[in-house]
Every structure is written in structure tokens, then in C-alpha cells.
């Protein structure tokens, strides 16, 4: 018998905000100066979305995922993507085994994808064939091996990392796969103070440990709670305007989008915006989404969904610049005094 | 439980109302500013003159400036209206925008706007979450102290406009002492001119005896119709208005000119009513009994108001046609009571059936009485057809004859009195009476003509070079306009009149002449100004083109004089009015 979902109350929202605050604090104990990254990672977690983390080597792309899994006491697995990695190395495969009587039979041996949090490290180093092995898992939380569909454990998210500067010997992710990542997080270079703290606190004999602050069931409840958050039509309208404006052939597109974008965001981006906005609202302890919530999540949601034109590359226009421009030009349902 | 939607809707209405008022104030301020510019434009020529400078040759004429000012004023109104509407459209809020504005002022993230969607049932999410949103919105609504921003005066613009308008008004008033804005409403009417002229003069002389006498006469003429039961109420009221103005003209010398103009206008309205619908109320007459009709007809005949008598007689004839024997008897009795039998032996040969050549007024009255007596007899005998046709004939004759006491004649005479009184009043005030003497080129031989016209002004005659004789001067000024011309030749037919001939307003039927008709001697050639005026007055179509040309020529001269010379303000419009009045169709 399925458990009846508990009603949403003010107290429950406060408790959720409190629990998520503790999770954030716990993760930040080991991640110096990455507050925004942590928040975005939590948003991805709450929204049951996959996240793509991009950053230069040594900035700490894998650490937040690892720490998050520890704080949540979730099953974590890491797959190091290399050119020779095969799909079966990810999903698992059927192997011939002999029983006690000596009879041979095929037995499925689960791959590393069977975990709650799968870290696909340097995902762009694997071949497209192997990368595609993750597509079904990311989208449907299931894999099909040997003709049998196997559900992945809940909650399930894929956190992939990639290095933006080492392009040799890599296979850039196809657009279809990029679109399946709810958020693309960028790991910025730390500030001077953060660097100092990293030096002070991570090079001693004692490594900081992570305590479990949330159990699996609580996380699943929170993920369910996100879907209950109220969205008003004018907020959805604003999200739709933003997505429409990413298309260069849209009449509402700003000039920069027309010039520097080849293809705009998909309807999945619209879903992602609303979902991420809902997660952010819950993080703020609110039962409704405001337009400002959408603006907060617009960068990680949209930055990997617009394909820049050649001009953008020539003029060194980044997708973040384009999203900035989008936010400043797409009008809200704004009150005019 | 607070109804968020209703509350926000109420605030929205309040906000939009205030924004509308703000836009109205801004529009009014802008309009005042632009209006001041238009006034300056309109009065530019006058301002230049008052500053002691003479307008340069390239300076636009007063008419051009006035037209430009009106066009500018119209464009300003259009601009301000469109701009205000556009601004208001941008500033008015709908309920969602209002809610968002309050959310923003509270620093909260859209609870009110989301609650509106929740109440409207358009939000997505779980019902529990929506209930929380609604509760939050109610809290937010409760915390709102001043949802609608107060009125904001259009600061600098308003102040600038106010100062500009005040400065303009003050400047114009200080410089002129006249109503500087009067002309914005249109050209000054004779009333305005007359009032302006009287208001600025503190030493207004009392009315002269002659003027008083004229006004009393006009008043007496109009008072006769006060109790005329056959007149329409509308006509009675207009006549009463004219009487009131005449009384005011008599009682308040300062406002005599204005009151006279108003009285004249009222009488013109009566004329207009007469042309359009007639002055006699058929329904009233139909409601009268035969005795009343006979009584009123008798009174009208006694007062020489043949026109009223004719109308009543017409009604009587209509009744005679359809009357039964008993009704005819009743009418016969009414006639006997009201129309006394005449002494038939006095004029045994008189025939009541029609007018005789050379008949005097007394003879005519006697004949009419006989005719009525005959009708009485016919009615007594029950001859309805005979009496009816006799009455129609009599009514027709009465209508044609008019009579000194008829309404048309009285109105014409009253108008004539008013005009004479006005001219006399101008004389009382020591003003030059506008007059223009005209001289015709002499034809070679003859005697000098003489101008004529009442008033105290001077008429100046001009003689054109003719074939010899002196031109004839004339004009509506007191005394004769001396004609000038070469010493030999025929006299030119010069002449002018300061008074309006009775019948000039078109009240009188053709053939009913005035007792004061002036016959201008017909001599000389046919191309002089006065001749042309005479011919166009006589309805000669062939003179139309000449008259038009003449009018244009004289108007240009007058306009030039008005513009270039120091003609008093109160006279300028008078001159323009004159030329407007005599403008060819």
C-alpha cells in the first residue's frame, strides 16, 4: 500500500528549509567559497535533475558531489570516463556463471550506474557511444540490459564533470545529451581568501569529515514537495518568454540572441526553469514560485541549452553573457508606477 | 477571510483614478503653457504696437496671426489629449500589476500576485500549498498601509505653466486694460465692443432726451404684443427679452450700448422665428371660443394690428365653413357684441367687397366694419359658405394691408428706433459716428447733391472725377456729406443713410411700404458706389459682381486702416462687423 503523502503545512516548509540549510552548511564545511555551486547542486538534487559540472582541473568539481552523497548517506559511485570505456562498463552486463551443480546461466552484474548518485567524471573523454549509455539512465532512471529493463535506485541523479580547456582527445557532449542535464554548474576560480582557507584547512593530518544530515526518505519527501509548490500563470508566462527569447528567429529575441545564437532552448528548458524555480522556492521556505526565483536559476538552466554562433566564438561572447542579456531585456509582468 | 481579489481590484481602481487625475493635471498645465503661447501669438501685433514699435512690413496681419493662433491652439489640444491618453495607458495598472507593485513595496516574492491566481483557480500546485500562499497573501494585504500612491502634482511643468500663464495674463492686462483674452473666443460681437467701450469710461454721460424718447417708443411698440393671445410662446418670450434689454438700456446708461445690441439681436431672433415657423400659434387660436376670437379680432383692429386680426379672421373663416346652424348663430351673436354696427347712411355708396382706389385708412376701416356686419347677417341666416368666403377675403385684405400696429411693422419700427437710439447714444458719448460719404462722378451738368444721415458724426463725401458737375456727398453722419468734384458737369447721385428703412429686416410683405422710406434721386451714371449699392439693394442681379468688387475694395481699405492706424479697439470690431454685415452673398 502506497504511503499517503503528508499535507504541506507551514511547519513542514520551515522544517524543509531548515533541513536543506543544514545540508548546505554541511557540504560547505569541505567546500570553501563555493556557496552558489552548493545551492545549485542542491537545487538539482531536489528537482531530481542531472547536473553537469564544468571547471578547470583542480577547482573541486567532484568534491561537492562526493560530499553531498556522504551528507545524505546515499549510495555513490564514480565512473572515470576514458576513451576506452564501454557502455557495459557503466550499465553492467550479463555474465555466464555456474551454479553449485555446475549448470551455466547468465547473471546480470550491475554496473556503477546502479547507485543514487553517479559521478561521471570527465564525461567528455568517453566516446559518444559510451556517453549515450547514460541517456536512458538520466532520462528514465532505468537501464535496459540484455533486453530487460532495470530500474535504478531512487533517488537517482547523474553528476557529470568536464574540463572546458582540454579539448584534445575529447568528445563534446551532443546537444541531446546536454539538454538532459537540468543544470550546468560552473566552478569559478576561488578568491584570494578562499585559496588561503583551502591551504590552511585541507593540508593537515586530519581531513574534515562529513556528517549525515539527511536520510534518503527525507530527500525523497522533499523531492516530492518540490512538485507541489504553487506556480502562478504569470510566472510560467515569464519562463515561457525567456525560453522563446533564446531563439534567434523569435520576434521577442534580443539583438544579442539574434546575432550570437544558432539554436535556442528546447521546451525541456521551460520545464527545467519551472522545476528549478520550484526547488529554489522550497530552499527559501516558500510555497510558491516568484519571478525572481526564475531569474536566480536562469543561468544554470539556460547556459548549456543555447548553441552559440560562430560570431559569438569569434567575439568571445559566452553563454553567460547571453543569459545576462536575456534577463535584462525580457520584460517581466512588471508593475509600472 | 479577506478577499484578496476584491481588495486588490479596489486598490487598482483607486490607483488608476489617481493616475488619471495626475494626467489630467499635467495635461491642463501643458495646455495652459501652450495656451499662453497661443495668446501671445494672437496678440502679437497688438503687443508690438503697445510697445511703441510699428509692425514691420513683413509682419503678418492680425488675421493671419489669429488664424495661426487658433490652429496652434487646436493642435495643442490634440497633442495634449493624445499624449495624456498614451501616458495614462502606460501608467494604469491591472490587478496583477497592482499586486506585484505591493509585493515589491513589501519586499516579498509575489505572494499577492500568486494569491490572485490561486483565487482565480489558474495556479498550478497542490491545494495545500495554495492555501499557504493565500494565507501569506492575506498577511501581506493586512500589512499594507498605503497601497495607492498619493497624487503627484506635475511639479516643474505645473509651476512653469502657472508662472507663464500668470505672467502673460498680468502683462497683457497691465499693458492693455482691455479684456486681452476676449478675442480667443472668437471675434468680438457688437455687445462686447459696446460693453468694452462703456466699461472703460467712468464719465458716462446720461441718456439724452432724444435717445430716451426713441427707446420709450420702441418699448411701447413691443409692449403692445405682451398680451397678444395669438402669438406663440417662443415669440412672446423673445419679445419680452427684447423689452427687458430696452428697459435696462434706459435704466443703466453705462450699459446702454450693450443692452441695445442685445435687444436688437432678440428682435432679429423674432424675425428668424417668423421666417422659420411663423409667429402665430394656430393651436392657441383653435382653442379659443368664437366669442374670444371675435373679441381679440376686434381689439387687434382697434389697435391697427391688421396682421393679428387677419390670423384670427382666418381661423374664424375655417370655423364658419364647418359650423352647424346653432354654431353660426353663436358666432353671429359674438360678432354683434364685438363689432358695432356702422352708420351705413354715412357712406351709402361704399362697397365692402374690395378696396377702392385712393381709399383712406378711415374709409377702409369703415368698409371692413360693413363687411363684418354683412357676415353677421349671413351667419344669422345660416349661410356658412358665404360668410366664410367673405371672412377669408377680409383676412387676406387685412394681411396685405399690414397696419401701423401690426407685428411686422412694430418690429421694424422698434429696430429702427433702437438703431437711431444707438447712434444718438454714440453722439451723447461724443464719439464720431462711423459714416462714409460717397460721391459719384458728375455727369456734366446739374446741381450738387446732398448727403444725409442721422447722428452726430461727420459724413465725408468724395467726388470722383466726372464730366463736370459736383459729386454728391452723403453718409450716415449728421449733416450733409459735402460732395466734391470738378467744378462743372452733372451732379452725381451721391447719398447715404444713417438709418435703416422700415421693412429692411424683411418683416413687411412686398408692397407694404414704410412711412420713412427715402427715395434717392436717380441721376448720373450707373457705375458709382452709391448707385451700385442702390441697385444691389433693389435686388438687381446685374449689380452683384460690381457690388462684390466694391465691397472688397472698401473692406481692404478699412482693414488696412484698422491695422496700420491708431483706431480705437472698441471701433475696430465695429468696422469689421459693418463690412461683415454688408458682405455680398
Q: What is the ipTM of this complex?
A: 0.76
Q: In this structure, are strands A142-145 and A148-151 parallel, antiparallel, or unpaired?
A: antiparallel
Q: Residue B480 and residue A212: Cα distance in Å, rounded?
A: 127
Q: What is the pLDDT at residue A243?
A: 94
A9–chain B nearest CA distance, Å: 7
Nearest C-alpha in B relative to A282: B129
Q: What is the pLDDT at residue A80?
A: 92
B235–chain A nearest CA distance, Å: 59
Which of the 8 DSSP states describes residue A72? H
Q: Residue A157 and residue A154: Cα distance in Å, rounded?
A: 9
Among A227, A230, A337, most B C-beta atoms within 10 A, so best to mutate, is A230
Q: What is the pLDDT at residue A39?
A: 93
Question: Does the structure show a pLDDT above 80 at A302?
Answer: yes
Would the CB atoms of A287 and B133 count as touching at under 8 Å?
yes
Would the CB atoms of A232 and B117 count as touching at under 8 Å?
yes
Q: Are A44 and A183 in contact (CB under 8 A)?
A: yes
The three-state DSSP-derived secondary structure of B309-336 is: HHHHHHHHHHHHHHCCHHHHHHHHHHHH
Q: What is the pLDDT at residue A240?
A: 93
Would the CB atoms of B110 and A9 count as touching at under 8 Å?
no
Q: What is the pLDDT at residue B373?
A: 84
Q: What is the pLDDT at residue B343?
A: 57
Chain A residues within an 8 Å CB radius of B149: 337
Measuring CA to CA, which residue among B525, B520, B579 is closest to residue B552?
B579
Residue whose grid cell is 496671426:
B65
What proportion of chain A, given as a percentage, has pLDDT over 90? Answer: 42
Domain locations along chain A: 30-220, 229-337
Which DSSP string do the residues of B329-398 spell out, in sequence order? HHHHHHHHHHSPPP-TTTSTT--TTS--TT--HHHHHHHHHHHHHHHHHHHHTT-HHHHHHHHHHHHHHH
Would the CB atoms of B114 and A7 count as touching at under 8 Å?
no
Q: Residue B66 and residue B54: Cα distance in Å, rounded?
A: 18
- The torsion angle over the Cα atoms of residues B136, B138, B143 and B148, rounded to 10 degrees, is 120
Maximal C-alpha separation, chain B: 120
What does the radius of gyration of chain A's CA atoms come to, in whole angstroms? 21
A7–chain B nearest CA distance, Å: 6
Would the CB atoms of A231 and B125 count as touching at under 8 Å?
yes
Q: Which three cell numbers stand for residue B175?
A: 499693458
Q: How far from A53 is each of A61, A210, B327, B456, CA to CA, in Å?
A: 6, 21, 119, 109
pLDDT digits (tens, 9 = 90+) for A198-227: 888 888 887 778 889 998 899 999 999 999
Q: What is the pLDDT at residue B191?
A: 55
Chain A residues within an 8 Å CB radius of B117: 232-234
Q: Are B458 and B496 in contact (CB under 8 A)?
A: no
- Which residue in A288, A335, A337 is closest to B133 by CB distance? A288
Chain A residues within an 8 Å CB radius of B110: 232, 235, 288-292
Would the CB atoms of A336 and B110 count as touching at under 8 Å?
no
Which of the 8 DSSP states describes residue A238? H
- Which residue in A13, A229, A291 is closest to B110 by CB distance? A291
Q: Which three cell numbers stand for residue B257?
A: 450700448
A159 or A8: which leads in pLDDT: A159
A184–chain B nearest CA distance, Å: 25
B125–chain A nearest CA distance, Å: 4
Would the CB atoms of B149 and A337 count as touching at under 8 Å?
yes
Measuring CA to CA, which residue among A131, A183, A179, A132 is closest to residue A157?
A183
Among B86, B101, B124, B138, most A C-beta atoms within 10 A, so best to mutate, is B124
Would the CB atoms of B104 and A335 count as touching at under 8 Å?
yes
Q: What is the pLDDT at residue B364?
A: 79
Nearest C-alpha in B relative to A6: B128
pLDDT digits (tens, 9 = 90+) for A60-113: 888 889 899 999 988 999 999 998 989 888 998 888 888 888 888 888 888 999
A40–chain B nearest CA distance, Å: 19
Would the CB atoms of A234 and B96 count as touching at under 8 Å?
yes
| Residue B467's pLDDT band (cuts 50, 70, 90) | very low
Would the CB atoms of B96 and A333 count as touching at under 8 Å?
yes
pTM: 0.53
B122–chain A nearest CA distance, Å: 7
**Could you tell me which residues come within 8 angstroms of residue A33 by beta carbon, excluding any fewer than 6 positions away?**
A190, A191, A193, A194, A197
- Which residue in A8, A284, A289 is closest to B128 by CB distance? A8
Residue whose grid cell is 551443480:
A101
Domain A30-220 has CATH 1.10.287.130: no
Would the CB atoms of A8 and B118 count as touching at under 8 Å?
no
Would the CB atoms of A288 and B97 count as touching at under 8 Å?
no
Q: Residue B410 and residue B402: Cα distance in Å, rounded?
A: 10
A273 or B160: which leads in pLDDT: A273
For residue A280, how many other CB atoms are within 10 A of its CB?
Answer: 26
Where b means 16+ CB within 10 Å and e means fewer, B327-340 reads: ebebbbbbbbebbe
B468 or A142: which leads in pLDDT: A142
Q: What is the pLDDT at residue B552?
A: 82
Nearest C-alpha in B relative to A232: B123
State yes or no: cis peptide before A155, omega within 30 of 0.
yes
DSSP H or E segment with residue B142: helix B127-143
Would the CB atoms of A288 and B101 count as touching at under 8 Å?
no
Chain B residues within an 8 Å CB radius of A284: 109
Q: Residue B547 and residue A175: Cα distance in Å, rounded?
A: 93
pLDDT digits (tens, 9 = 90+) for B413-433: 888 888 778 777 777 665 444
Q: Residue B481 and residue A84: Cα distance in Å, rounded?
A: 129
What proportion of chain B, given as a percentage, has pLDDT over 90? Answer: 2
Q: How far from B310 is each of B230, B232, B291, CA to CA, in Å?
A: 11, 16, 16
- Which residue in B100, B104, B132 is closest to A287 by CB distance? B132
Q: Which three cell numbers stand for residue B544?
A: 452683384
Chain B residues within an 8 Å CB radius of A10: 132, 135
A17–chain B nearest CA distance, Å: 15
Chain B residues within an 8 Å CB radius of A293: 109
A25–chain B nearest CA distance, Å: 24
Q: Residue A278 and residue A230: Cα distance in Å, rounded?
A: 8
Q: How many CA atoms lie within 13 A of B339 on its CB side?
A: 31
CATH node for A229-337: 1.10.8.80
Amino acid at each position: 500500500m502506497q504511503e499517503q503523502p503528508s499535507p504541506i503545512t507551514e511547519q513542514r516548509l520551515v522544517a524543509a528549509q531548515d533541513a536543506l540549510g543544514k545540508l548546505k552548511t554541511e557540504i560547505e564545511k569541505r567546500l570553501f567559497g563555493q556557496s552558489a555551486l552548493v545551492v545549485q547542486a542542491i537545487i538539482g538534487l531536489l528537482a531530481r535533475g542531472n547536473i553537469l559540472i564544468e571547471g578547470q582541473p583542480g577547482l573541486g568539481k567532484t568534491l561537492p558531489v562526493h560530499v553531498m552523497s556522504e551528507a545524505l548517506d546515499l549510495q555513490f559511485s564514480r565512473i572515470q570516463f576514458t576513451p576506452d570505456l564501454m557502455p557495459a562498463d557503466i550499465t553492467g552486463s550479463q555474465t555466464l556463471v555456474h551454479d553449485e551443480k555446475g549448470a551455466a546461466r547468465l547473471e546480470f552484474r550491475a554496473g556503477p550506474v546502479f547507485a543514487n548518485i553517479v559521478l561521471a567524471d570527465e564525461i567528455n573523454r568517453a566516446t559518444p557511444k559510451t556517453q549515450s549509455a547514460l541517456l536512458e539512465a538520466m532520462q528514465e532512471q532505468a537501464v535496459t540490459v540484455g533486453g530487460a529493463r532495470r530500474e535504478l535506485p531512487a533517488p537517482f541523479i547523474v553528476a557529470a564533470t568536464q574540463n572546458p580547456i582540454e579539448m584534445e582527445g575529447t568528445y563534446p557532449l551532443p546537444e541531446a545529451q546536454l539538454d538532459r542535464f537540468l543544470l550546468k554548474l560552473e566552478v569559478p576560480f576561488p578568491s584570494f581568501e578562499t585559496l588561503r582557507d583551502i591551504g590552511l584547512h585541507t593540508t593537515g593530518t586530519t581531513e574534515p569529515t562529513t556528517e549525515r544530515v539527511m536520510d534518503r526518505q527525507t530527500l525523497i519527501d522533499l523531492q516530492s514537495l518540490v512538485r507541489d509548490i504553487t506556480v502562478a500563470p504569470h510566472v510560467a508566462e515569464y519562463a515561457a518568454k525567456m525560453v522563446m527569447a533564446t531563439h534567434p528567429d523569435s520576434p521577442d529575441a534580443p539583438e544579442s540572441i539574434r546575432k550570437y545564437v544558432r539554436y535556442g532552448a528546447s521546451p525541456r528548458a521551460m520545464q527545467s526553469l519551472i522545476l528549478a524555480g520550484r526547488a529554489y522556492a522550497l530552499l527559501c521556505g516558500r510555497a510558491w514560485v516568484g519571478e525572481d526565483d526564475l531569474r536566480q536559476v536562469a543561468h544554470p538552466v539556460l547556459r548549456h541549452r543555447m548553441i552559440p554562433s560562430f560570431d559569438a566564438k569569434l567575439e568571445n561572447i559566452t553563454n553567460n553573457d547571453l543569459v545576462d542579456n536575456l534577463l535584462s531585456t525580457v520584460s517581466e509582468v512588471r508593475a509600472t508606477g | 477571510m479577506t478577499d484578496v481579489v476584491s481588495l486588490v481590484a479596489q486598490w487598482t481602481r483607486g490607483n488608476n483614478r489617481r493616475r488619471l487625475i495626475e494626467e489630467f493635471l499635467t495635461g491642463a498645465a501643458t495646455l495652459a503653457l501652450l495656451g499662453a503661447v497661443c495668446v501671445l501669438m494672437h496678440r502679437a501685433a497688438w503687443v508690438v504696437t503697445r510697445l511703441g514699435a510699428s509692425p514691420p512690413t513683413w509682419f503678418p496681419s492680425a488675421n493671419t496671426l489669429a488664424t495661426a493662433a487658433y490652429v496652434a491652439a487646436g493642435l495643442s489640444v490634440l497633442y495634449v489629449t493624445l499624449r495624456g491618453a498614451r501616458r495614462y495607458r502606460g501608467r494604469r495598472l491591472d490587478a496583477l500589476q497592482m499586486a506585484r507593485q505591493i509585493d515589491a513595496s513589501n519586499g516579498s516574492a509575489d505572494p499577492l500576485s500568486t494569491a490572485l491566481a490561486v483565487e482565480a483557480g489558474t495556479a498550478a500546485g497542490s491545494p495545500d500549498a495554495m492555501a499557504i500562499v493565500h494565507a501569506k497573501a492575506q498577511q501581506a494585504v493586512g500589512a499594507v498601509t498605503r497601497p495607492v500612491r498619493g497624487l503627484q502634482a506635475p511639479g516643474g511643468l505645473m509651476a512653469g505653466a502657472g508662472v507663464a500663464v500668470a505672467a502673460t495674463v498680468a502683462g497683457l492686462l497691465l499693458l492693455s486694460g482691455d479684456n486681452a483674452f476676449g478675442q480667443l473666443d472668437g471675434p468680438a460681437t457688437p455687445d462686447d465692443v459696446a460693453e468694452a467701450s462703456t466699461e472703460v469710461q467712468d464719465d458716462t454721460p446720461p441718456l439724452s432726451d432724444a435717445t430716451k424718447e426713441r427707446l420709450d417708443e420702441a418699448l411701447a411698440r413691443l409692449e403692445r404684443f405682451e398680451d397678444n393671445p395669438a402669438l406663440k410662446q417662443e415669440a412672446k418670450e423673445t419679445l419680452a427679452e427684447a423689452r427687458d434689454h430696452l428697459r435696462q438700456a434706459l435704466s443703466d446708461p453705462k450699459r446702454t450700448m450693450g443692452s441695445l445690441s442685445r435687444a436688437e439681436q432678440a428682435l432679429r431672433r423674432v424675425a428668424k422665428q417668423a421666417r422659420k415657423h411663423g409667429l402665430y400659434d394656430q393651436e392657441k387660436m383653435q382653442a379659443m371660443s368664437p366669442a374670444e376670437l371675435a373679441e381679440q379680432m376686434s381689439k387687434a383692429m382697434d389697435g391697427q394690428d391688421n396682421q393679428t386680426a387677419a390670423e384670427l379672421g382666418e381661423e374664424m373663416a375655417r370655423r364658419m365653413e364647418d359650423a352647424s346652424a346653432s354654431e353660426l348663430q353663436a358666432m353671429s351673436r359674438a360678432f354683434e357684441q364685438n363689432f358695432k354696427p356702422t352708420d351705413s347712411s354715412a357712406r351709402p355708396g361704399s362697397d365692402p367687397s374690395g378696396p377702392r382706389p385712393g381709399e383712406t385708412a378711415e374709409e377702409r376701416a369703415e368698409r371692413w366694419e360693413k363687411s363684418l356686419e354683412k357676415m353677421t347677417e349671413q351667419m344669422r341666416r345660416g349661410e356658412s359658405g358665404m360668410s366664410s368666403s367673405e371672412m377669408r377675403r377680409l383676412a387676406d385684405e387685412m394681411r396685405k394691408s399690414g397696419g401701423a400696429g401690426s407685428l411686422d411693422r412694430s418690429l421694424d419700427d422698434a429696430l429702427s428706433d433702437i438703431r437711431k437710439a444707438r447712434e444718438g447714444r454714440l453722439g451723447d458719448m461724443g464719439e464720431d459716428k462711423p459714416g462714409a460719404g460717397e460721391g459719384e462722378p458728375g455727369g456734366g451738368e446739374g446741381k450738387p447733391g446732398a448727403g444725409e444721415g442721422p447722428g452726430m458724426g461727420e459724413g465725408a463725401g468724395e467726388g470722383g472725377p466726372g464730366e463736370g458737375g459736383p459729386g454728391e456727398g452723403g453718409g450716415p453722419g449728421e449733416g450733409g456729406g459735402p460732395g466734391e468734384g470738378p467744378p462743372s458737369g452733372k451732379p452725381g447721385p451721391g447719398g447715404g443713410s444713417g438709418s435703416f428703412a422700415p421693412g429692411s429686416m424683411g418683416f413687411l410683405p412686398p408692397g407694404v411700404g414704410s412711412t420713412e422710406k427715402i427715395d434717392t434721386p436717380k441721376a448720373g451714371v450707373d457705375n458709382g458706389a452709391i448707385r451700385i449699392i442702390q441697385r444691389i439693394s433693389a435686388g438687381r442681379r446685374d449689380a452683384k459682381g460690381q457690388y462684390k468688387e466694391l465691397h472688397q475694395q472698401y473692406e481692404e481699405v478699412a482693414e488696412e486702416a484698422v491695422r496700420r492706424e491708431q483706431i480705437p479697439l472698441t471701433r475696430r470690431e465695429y468696422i469689421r462687423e459693418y463690412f461683415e454685415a454688408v458682405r455680398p452673398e
